A and B are shown apart, each in its own frame.
Chain A
Amino acid sequence: MSAFDGVKVAVLLFVAAIAQVSIFGQLHVFGAVPDILLVTLVAISLLRGSVAGAVGGFFAGLIVDTASLGTLGLTSLVLTLSGFWIGRYGETTGRDRAHAPYLSIAVVTVLYELGLLVVHFVLGESAPAGAVVRSLLPAVVLNLIVTGPVYGLVRRLLRAMERQELSAEVQLLG
């Protein structure tokens, strides 16, 4: 991943994190909120791999925890693991499959919510398991709804660099 690619990823995640904290975090639908940051991170992880996913998840979580004045490192930890895991899935089996973003979002939304619940529980903070479980299905549906446009946007922004890398490699081999 080039430096310019990294800058684009960083800007994408920064905008998504700010939007999540300021806008989407307050948009409650059936007890759940659409997680635009998680969807963006999953898209980046699928397109740029596990290391980009893990690093992006770490710093995006740091922005969220800083902006919301929450416990530092909490969101970072869960997003780092989510980004890495989805990145590995993209590198191995899901890279060229059309359903990969949707499958990844459905699974990672559940794991992300449960992961946050577990970390809160371990820290001795309020961990309302019933409310979290009840909001899982609406959260998955909401995230799946925004997956299409967000993944399309991220793919469009990152694809140009992918083609450049591709043509350079062909020239090198030729």
Chain B
Amino acid sequence: MATRGRSARAAVLASSVQRSKPTPYPSKVRSAFLRRMVLVVLVLGALTLLTISFRSPTAGALHDLQGAGSSALRPFQIAATRVAQPFRDAYDYLDSLANAKTENSKLRKEIAYFRSTQLLKSEKAREYDSLVRLMHYEQGATFPNGYSAVNARVISDSAGPFAQTLTIAAGSSSGIRENAPVVSGDGLIGRVSNVFSDTAVVSLLSDPNSPVPALDLHTGVRGVVHPGPGGALIFDDVKKQYKVDAADVLVTLGTIDPRYPDLYPSGIPIGKTSAPTVTDTASFLQVQVQPFGNLGSLDSVAVLVKTSKHK
């Protein structure tokens, strides 16, 4: 019985009730020797299996036994896989959702990269086509005698309402001189109006200061090609009594009298004529010209440089 001032718990603790021994652990009842022997036997067993398996990994009784064991375990593995399949699918779904944002960002970067690569390739392809046409022209029969071509890349295009020029990446160091004719693979583009060491400025056909004497190949009529009041090219100075048809090809006239040499050699294609119009008040035919060369979109051009005195 508990005395005053002492708790019941203390009284119980102080009593002489005989408590049972702590529960002996099952392993503890075995001797340390037995425990160690079990460990040694198992480790030796594992090492023996390891040695045999390592020395003959593809043949032998142990290999056959392992194969048989694997075959026996296969149904359990398949069953476990099938049981886990819905959970695995759910995990994959959640994982894909979690990674969707990162993946989206990564894919956007890839799209941007491939788009820029695609643009670069398209640009290269366009430049390639331009160069091929230029090469065909330079090697063709219409290329003027006594001239050689200096190919140059267009580095800036100033064609606009106030300037009809472009700048090319070749200059006097490449043999280019002022007033040298400039062509693309399709036809005449203009002439060199200013030359620097490694660059030059080309005045386009659409520049009012670059008139070109021209010849209608179909009718033999002569005239001058220059920009009209609206900016479009016209075949001018053709009297009304001469005949010019639609879609006639115009080429450069070239030098007629050696005393007055022309800037352009003869036979360079310029463009096609449209249907001429005649008015009572005008002295000449009004013929518009569609140039062969695309003056607004040029990647590369060739400057014709004299190699010898031509006719």
Contacts and interface: CB of A to CB of B under 8 A. Distances in A.
Q: What band does the interface of chain A fall in when counting residues whose beta carbon is under 8 Å from B? A: 35 or more
Nearest to B76: A18
Interface stretch (B48-56, B105-113, B208-216, B241-249): B48-56
Interface string A1-27: 100000000000000001101110001
A113 interface: no
B3 to A, nearest CB: 30
Top 5 closest pairs, chain A to chain B, by CB: A49-B27, A73-B49, A73-B50, A77-B46, A72-B53
Interface stretch (B65-73, B164-172, B231-239): B65-73
A55 interface: yes
Interface of A: 1, 18-19, 21-23, 27, 48-52, 54-55, 57-58, 61-63, 65-67, 69, 71-74, 76-77, 80-81, 84, 87, 91, 95, 119, 123, 165-166, 169-170, 173
A10 to B, nearest CB: 14
A107 to B, nearest CB: 19
Where chain A touches its partner, the secondary structure class is helix
Interface stretch (B17-25, B145-153, B261-269, B289-297): B17-25
Given A63-B73, A87-B27, 17 more contacts: A19-B84, A22-B76, A22-B77, A22-B80, A23-B84, A50-B35, A52-B27, A54-B39, A54-B42, A69-B67, A71-B53, A72-B52, A72-B53, A73-B47, A73-B49, A166-B23, A169-B24
Interface in B52-92: 52-54, 57, 62, 66-67, 69-70, 73, 76-78, 80-81, 84, 88, 91
Given A80-B42, A95-B25, A66 B81 contact: no
Given A51-B38, A173-B21, A22 B84 contact: yes
A74 B50 contact: yes
A47 to B, nearest CB: 10
B26 A21 contact: no
Contact of B39 (A48, A84, A165): A84
A72 B21 contact: no
B30 interface: yes
Nearest to B63: A72
Nearest to A69: B70
Contacts of A55: 38, 42
Interface of B: 20-21, 23-28, 30, 34-35, 38-39, 42-43, 45-54, 57, 62, 66-67, 69-70, 73, 76-78, 80-81, 84, 88, 91
Contact of A71 (B42, B50, B76, B81): B50
B124 to A, nearest CB: 42
B50 A80 contact: no
Nearest to B26: A1
B46 A49 contact: no
A65 B54 CA distance: 13
A49 B73 contact: no
B240 to A, nearest CB: 88
Contacts of A67: 69-70, 73, 77
13 contacts: A22-B76, A51-B35, A52-B26, A66-B66, A67-B70, A67-B73, A71-B50, A72-B52, A77-B46, A80-B39, A91-B28, A95-B25, A119-B50
A45 B21 CA distance: 23
B53 A48 contact: no
Nearest to A71: B53
Nearest to B52: A72
Contacts of B84: 19, 22-23
